[in-house]
Amino acid sequence: MTRDGAESVERALNILRAFSETRREMSLTEISQSTGLYKSTVLRLTASLEACGFLQRGEDKLYRLGPELWRLGAIYRRGLDLGEFIRPVLRRLVDTTQESVSFYVRDGDERICLYRQNSPRAVRHHLEEGERLPLDRGAAGRVLRAYTAPKWPPGAQIREDGFYISLGERDADVAAASVPVIDNAGRLRGALSVSGLRSRFDTKAQHLAIEAMKMEAARLADHLPASD
């Protein structure tokens, strides 16, 4: 029994959460192994998920995520109102820096990578859209925190600089630089981040990335639609 909720609901949601970019389809047995639930339990829970449009089961017996997630994900995304403007920016930044570029927003004590454009280079920092990362580590995390928690002591310096560079904070081989995206109403909408191999991301590359992101962030400020 869960502390406040409904155990069977969380079991069903954990079935959904077992899907990922690399696990877009799963058999009954794979779901059972992944979630630790008995197959008969999985069968019963997936029947409800299918009935409500959250899962689909093909004639091959494999389960895939269902269209209701698209609809709800689109509602969530439109609440954010950003993709249309952010994606082209990320592409231009990849062209300029030749490194991977992301856009993050804060969610509680974490940050979420909403949009991502990976570097064309074979050796690159890999990350998936939708992934959650800590707030207290990594360039984008610190930038988001600096602009959303005014009383956080290190935030003053970050706001003064207007950017943050992390060298191996989350992963020893990865370096990243990040700048905030603030709209014309003065509200933080998220953080842009360029990340790549630390050995490549020298002072010159850092400077180039920061200037390019600052320019794009300023452009975005003029174009972002007002949020609610």
Partner DNA sequence: CCTACAGGTTCTGTATTACAGAACTTAGTT
Partner DNA sequence: AACTAAGTTCTGTAATACAGAACCTGTAGG
User: Interface residues with a copy of itself (CB under 8 A)?
Assistant: 2, 4-6, 8-10, 12-14, 16-17, 19-21, 24-25, 44-45, 47-49, 51-54, 56, 64-79, 107, 112, 114, 129-132, 228
Q: Which of residues 65-124 bind DNA (CB under 7 A)?
A: none
Which of DNA, a copy of itself, none lies near 122, with the C-beta cut-off 5 to 8 A by kind?
none
The C-alpha atoms of residue 106 and residue 189 are separated, in whole angstroms, by 9
Burial class (CB in 10 A: 0-12, 13-18, 19+), 151: exposed
Residue 1 found at the interface with DNA (CB under 7 A)? yes
Residue 158 near residue 191 (C-beta atoms within 8 A): no
> Is 40 a residue that touches DNA (CB under 7 A)?
yes
Per-residue mark of binding to DNA, 2-31 (x: CB under 7 A): x---xxxx-x---------------xxxx-
Comparing CB distances to DNA, the nearer of 47 and 156 is 47
Among 15, 19, 35, 37, binds DNA (CB under 7 A): 37
**Between residues 4 and 222, which has the closer beta carbon with respect to a copy of itself?**
4
Considering the complex, state which of residue 14 and residue 118 has its C-beta at the smaller distance from DNA: 14
Residue 180 burial class via C-beta count within 10 angstroms: exposed 0-12, middle 13-18, buried 19 and up: buried
Handedness of CA 198, 201, 207, 210 (dihedral sign): negative
CA R_g for the chain = 20
Cβ atoms < 10 Å from Cβ of 23: 11
Q: Are 66 and 46 in contact, with CB atoms under 8 Å apart?
A: no
Residues that bind DNA (CB under 7 A): 1-2, 6-9, 11, 27-30, 37-41, 43-45, 61
